[in-house]
A and B are shown apart, each in its own frame.
Chain A
Amino acid sequence: MSNPLSDMEKPDVIFAIGTNMTECHPVAATRLKRALRNGAKMIVADPRRIPLAEMADLYLPLRVGSDVALLLGMAHVIAREGLIDQEFLETRTTGSEQFLAHVAEFTPEWAESICGVPAADIEQAAKWYGAAERGAIYYTLGITEHICGVDNVQSLCNLVLMTGNIGRPGTGINPMRGQNNIQGAGDCGAIPANFPGFQPVTDPANQAKFEKLYGKKVDLERGITKVRALERAAEKTMKAMLIVGENTAVSDPDRKHCEHALTSLDHLVVIDIFPNETTALADVVLPATAWGETDGVYTNTERRVQRVRQAVPPQGEARPEWWIIAQIAKRCGIPGFEYESAKDVFNELCSVSPIYRGLDWDRIDKGEYHWPVPEAGHPGTPVLHETEFKNGRGVFTVVGYRDPAEVVDDDYPVWLTTGRRLQNYHTRTMTGRASGIDYLQPEEFLEVHPDNVTAWGLEDGGMCRMSSSRGSIEIRVRATDKSPRGTVFCSFGFGDVRVNDLTGSGYDPVTETAELKVCPVRLERV
């Protein structure tokens, strides 16, 4: 997030797109509700009539995968109505001429023909956001899990750059991270393109720095993403894999392909807290300590670096991941793993990462700092991009609309979109083993518009077979007008409803994030 969570109470116009925040980030949503009580206006764009949509002043029910069209239409109106922040445009951005010439083509009427949102509502949304004193954008995986995920994000950035809604309290572009420490995993350098602290691996200065730090030649090329690695595993050119705390076989799209890839490896080592579909394929399974059993650090969605602490002893022989990995590294003859505590590891991270350099184990005790914290004594950076962007000026990107990887046709005439529900989390490895949760949601179900239930010959509460070109599953039908006509929804939480057998139609070419939010399917009563 460019802005802290506390800023969510400050906007006068909220634009929430592709985020089911009351279910997926409920505590953050309480802040938006307070902003509404303070008089803020809220625009919600989502294919489903989610709880946030019920609270919105303006709800834009767009067709799945059509975000770029909607956002181009909004950009067109902002430009046409003279709502551009000229001073910001001139002093803080570049590429506006080309961009403005581009958006002049894309009227709200054109956008309506693609995304299905009435042109008048697109106009209204653009006028509100464009005229906002403090306009803030919030988004989640509804924006990124598309073949055009990067285009979607850049389309949002374009709106921000046109209106100057950045670098001030109550504004910004704010992705809500879905996992407790997914921000931290990136911060730590567990990504193929960057050393810790987002230092590009292709920069010779960084290469020299890490050669010195790690006492070993470093790779001059970027690594490949997990998606490509699994492909190479299936082709038998990737031979050995270490997977930590991820049920790769289930959480990734196209499950059959994943299982085939993992079983094709010569050597699979999995570190986790529960047995799962991925540990079942491993050559070595190593038990890790869980939350509450280990000391460590998480970084949250607002870049706040916080301590987690051990409260109870580990189960069985479980050990912290850093210890396990250090033991493997030592046995491989890799130097630099002589850690005695989580504190040693974290302090080393701080010493090699420019965004954590001003932090250490003791300094983060109260969780006061948002990175970057470039040196000791620095107060941290709750609001990013206050006076300049990381690379100087904000760059407008010319983005065009593309259809999803697969679109509905006679064989697969229904849009399926997936997500999470309030009570359950991810693949339920945790919530499925917490008592009481089952009471509220004992099984997965498919949300179908009541008119469609009738028209397609389904039965509310009955079972149906849902098929895509990749597979077929059975799931219970629930009639609800939360789903629009022609689009159905379920979560990927339940192991007996393997929805990721169906998904996996395509990937964003830049991030290689799968298009989990769009999958044409066929439904049949069983």
Chain B
Amino acid sequence: MTQTSDAIEARTASQTTIVLDGTEVPFCDGETLYEISRRHRKEVPTLCYDDRLDAFGACRLCVVEVDGFRNPVASCTTKATPGMVVRSTSETLERHRKTLMELVVSENTGGSARNGNIDVDPLRGLKSQELSNLATRYEVDGTRFAGATSGKSRQDDGNPFILRDYDKCISCYRCVRVCAEREGDYAISVMNRGFHTQITTEFDSKLEDSACTFCGQCVQTCPTGALADRKALRDAETPGELKKTRTVCPYCGVGCSVDMLSKGDKIVGIHPAMDGPANQGALCIKGQYAFDFIQHPDRLQTPMIRASNGQLVPATWDEALDRAAAGFLAANRDHGRHSIYAIASGRAPHESAYSVQKFIRAGFASNHVDNCSRA
């Protein structure tokens, strides 16, 4: 959002321009060719790029042609300078990108690449479709360079949240970078080089024995599904279309925006909202993974009232509400308005707390109301 408004400002205020695909366009100081191209809706492909992370320039898919440069340049790391003449697409560039994609896909042994599409369940993670979408766009199937691959899945890591399916890893390092740059946890790193490249933790351990906090950010930036949301994948076979509902996390007071994922009546997972104003895509273990309590069998299902034998027994709404009201009326009649008290919840929405205080104030001419902030 900010980027767009900054850009609009730049467009009106700045006199500096480049020529992009034959059109003169203005840019802000420090803007990269990729940022300008994306702003103008050019479909420049990327794999190692995540706009929350420092540009990395590793995948080379975002290359563009610039007059005066002998070779295409990575647009994500090249800053615009006045008067540059840039082409975001050309026959040469597309051929180059297709070759790169063939190399990348040959790395990715997951799914059914050989049939021309890499099947990745969207439940694996927010960005898990990026590689498969590009493979489809460039019609590559990984057969051209079939052979050696890098990254080995860690089936020994039995943690319940993060599947470490490194057979699908393409060494874009987005997971390592998000952990360092956004989370500041530095729990994972890169071991070895070339075909021996492996994303791992300190001492090559399980995540639970590392500095990992299970925030799931690595899962949500992974472009191939190599890191995947184990909890969400439990519902891979659950029928129904995947629906996303924008809401706010129910845990601490930071108020992170999330997209709740559901299939039919069932909540199946959480995606962080990249445009969430409080969190800008970040989440913690609770917001990311502790969502399924709402459909736990322990939930109270029906109203209950205490029977004459002292037991709580199920009741209809009418019975229970009548009983609830009668008790307050009796206390008010027999002991006065100040014999009634209400405690509102700091967990429920405003409409709950507002109704509770109105019930006491408008109902019993009393200010005997509080919430759970004192403990």
Residues of A within 8 A of B (CB): 5, 22, 24-30, 33-34, 36-37, 176-193, 195-196, 201, 210, 214-219, 221-227, 229, 233, 237-246, 248, 251-253, 266-267, 269, 272-275, 279-280, 282-288, 290-302, 304, 306-313, 315-322, 324-329, 331-332, 334-337, 342, 345-346, 348-349, 366-368, 422-423, 425, 429-437, 439-440, 511-514, 516
Task: Identify the stretch in B39-47, B78-86, B190-198, B302-310 within 8 Å (CB) of chain A at 4 or more residues.
Answer: B302-310
CB within 8 A of A240: which of B253, B300, B331?
Answer: B331
Would you call B367 an interface residue if the criterion is a C-beta within 8 Å of the partner chain's C-beta atoms? Answer: yes
Closest 4 CB pairs of A and B: A296-B349, A300-B255, A316-B301, A245-B345
Asked if B366 and A240 make an inter-chain contact with CB atoms under 8 angstroms apart, the answer reads: no
Out of A178, A269, A516, which one reaches B252, CB within 8 Å?
Answer: A178
Q: Please report B residues at the A interface, Cβ cutoff 8 Å.
A: 159-161, 182-184, 208, 213-215, 230-231, 243, 245-257, 260, 262, 265-267, 276-279, 282-287, 289-296, 298-306, 312, 317, 320-332, 334-335, 337, 339-363, 365-375
Query: Given contacts A30-B182, A185-B346, A329-B363, are A224 and B252 in contact (CB under 8 A)?
Result: no
Please name all residues of chain B whose beta carbon is closer than 8 Å to the beta carbon of A322 when the two chains form the complex. 351-352, 354-355
Bound complex: CA A336 to CA B329 (Å): 17
**Which residue of the partner chain, among B208, B346, B362, contacts A182 with CB atoms under 8 Å?**
B346
With A284-B327, A311-B247, A430-B293 already in contact, the answer to whether A329 and B359 are too (CB < 8 A) is: yes
Determine if A241 and B342 form an interchain contact, defined as CB atoms under 8 angstroms apart: yes
Min C-beta distance of A83 to chain B, whole Å = 30
Contact A435–B329 (Cβ < 8 Å): no
> For residue A267, which residues in chain B have a CB less than 8 angstroms away from its CB?
327-328, 330-331
Contact at B260–A328, with CB atoms within 8 Å?
A: no
Q: Which of A318, A342, A366 contacts B300 (CB 8 A)?
A: A318
Q: Compute how far the CA of A316 lies from the CA of B303 in the bound complex, rounded to whole angstroms.
A: 10
Nearest to A1 among chain B residues (CB) is B253
- Is the Cβ of B365 less than 8 Å from the Cβ of A229? no
Please tell me if the beta carbons of B361 and A219 are within 8 angstroms of each other in the complex: yes
**Is B367 within 8 A of A201, CB to CB?**
yes
Given contacts A192-B367, A327-B321, contact A273 B358 (CB under 8 A): no
Q: Would A182 and B351 count as touching, CB distance under 8 A?
A: no
Choose among B321, B326, B340, B348 the residue with the greatest number of A CB atoms under 10 Å from its CB: B348
A–B Cβ pairs within 8 angstroms, 22 of them: A180-B346, A223-B369, A239-B335, A242-B328, A267-B331, A269-B328, A300-B253, A302-B255, A306-B278, A311-B267, A312-B266, A312-B267, A317-B317, A321-B351, A322-B351, A325-B355, A328-B359, A331-B322, A332-B325, A336-B362, A430-B290, A433-B296
Give the secondary structure class of B's interface: mixed
Contact call B302/A266, Cβ cutoff below 8 A = no
Question: Which chain B residue shows the least CB distance to A316?
Answer: B301
List residues of chain B with CB within 8 A of the CB of A224. Answer: 341, 368
Q: How far, in Å, is B95 (CB) from chain A's closest CB?
A: 40
Contact check: which of B230, B231, B344 meets A244 at CB < 8 Å? B344
Residue ID in chain B nearest A431 by CB atoms: B290
Please, how many angstroms separate the alpha-carbon atoms of A225 and B285 in the complex?
Answer: 34
B294 touches A315 (CB 8 A): yes
Given contacts A190-B344, A222-B367, whether A292 and B327 have CB atoms under 8 Å apart is no
Q: Which of the listed residues A176, A269, A273, A308 has the most CB atoms from chain B within 10 Å of its own CB?
A: A308
A242's partner among B251, B266, B322, B342 (CB-CB below 8 A) is B342
* Cβ contacts under 8 Å, B360 to chain A: 223
Verify A296–B350 contact, CB threshold 8 A: yes
Enumerate chain A residues within 8 angstroms of B291, measured Cβ to Cβ: 292, 434
Contact in complex: B361, A288 (CB < 8 Å): no
Nearest Cβ on chain A to B258's Cβ, whole angstroms? 10
Closest B residue to A213 using CB positions: B362
Contact (A219, B365) CB under 8 Å given A185-B372, A242-B343: yes
Contact (Cβ within 8 A) A241 B343? yes
A179 to B347 Cα, complex, angstroms = 6
Across the interface, A186 reaches (CB within 8 A) one of B213, B251, B371, namely B371
Bound CA–CA A245/B328 (angstroms): 19
Q: How far is the CA of A431 from the CA of B291 in the complex (A)?
A: 8
Interfacial chain B residues near A273, Cβ < 8 Å: 294, 299-300
Q: Determine whether the beta carbon of B350 is less than 8 Å from that of A187.
A: yes
How many angstroms from the CA of A435 to the CA of B324 in the assembled complex? 34
Most chain B CB within 10 A, of A30, A192, A293, is at A30
Q: Which of A241, A284, A311 contacts B341 (CB 8 A)?
A: A241
In the complex, A298 Cα to B278 Cα: how many Å?
Answer: 13
| A349 with B343, Cβ < 8 A, contacts A240-B331, A308-B247 known | no
Check if B247 sits within 8 Å of A180, measured CB to CB: no
Contact B363 A332 (CB under 8 A): yes
Q: When the two chains form their complex, are residues B321 and A331 in contact, meaning their CB atoms are under 8 A apart? A: yes
Residues of A within 8 A of B367 (CB): 192-193, 201, 218-219, 221-223
Chain B residue numbers with a CB within 8 Å of A425 are 251-252, 286, 290
Determine which of B231, B266, B339, B359 lies in contact with A238 in the assembled complex, contact meaning CB atoms within 8 Å. B339
By the criterion CB–CB under 8 Å, are B284 and A434 in contact? no
User: Known: A286-B324, A311-B260. Contact between A434 and B340, CB under 8 A?
Assistant: no
Q: Which residue of A lies closest to B317 (CB)?
A: A317
Chain B: which residue is nearest A432 at the CB level?
Answer: B293
Min C-beta distance of A173 to chain B, whole Å? 16
Residues of chain B with a CB closer than 8 A to A335's CB: 362
- Distance to closest chain B CB from A238 (angstroms): 6
B305 to nearest A CB, angstroms? 5
Which A residues are CB-close (under 8 A) to B345? 181, 185, 244-246, 321
Q: Is the CB of A191 within 8 A of B370?
A: yes
- Shortest CB-to-CB span from A80 to chain B, Å, is 35
Assembly CA distance A102 to B328 (angstroms): 51
Collect the chain A residues with CB atoms within 8 Å of residue B248's CB: 180, 298, 300, 306-308, 367
Structural contact, B355 and A321, CB atoms closer than 8 A: yes
A269-B324, A331-B322 given; A191·B369 CB < 8 A: yes
Chain A residue nearest in CB terms to B159 = A439
Least CB distance from A54 to B in Å reads 11
CB neighbours (8 Å) of A368 from chain B are 277
Tell me the complex Cα distance, A40–B345, Å. 37
Q: How far is the CA of A275 from the CA of B183 in the complex (A)?
A: 36
Contact A316 B325 (CB under 8 A): no
CB distance from A476 to the nearest CB of B (A): 18
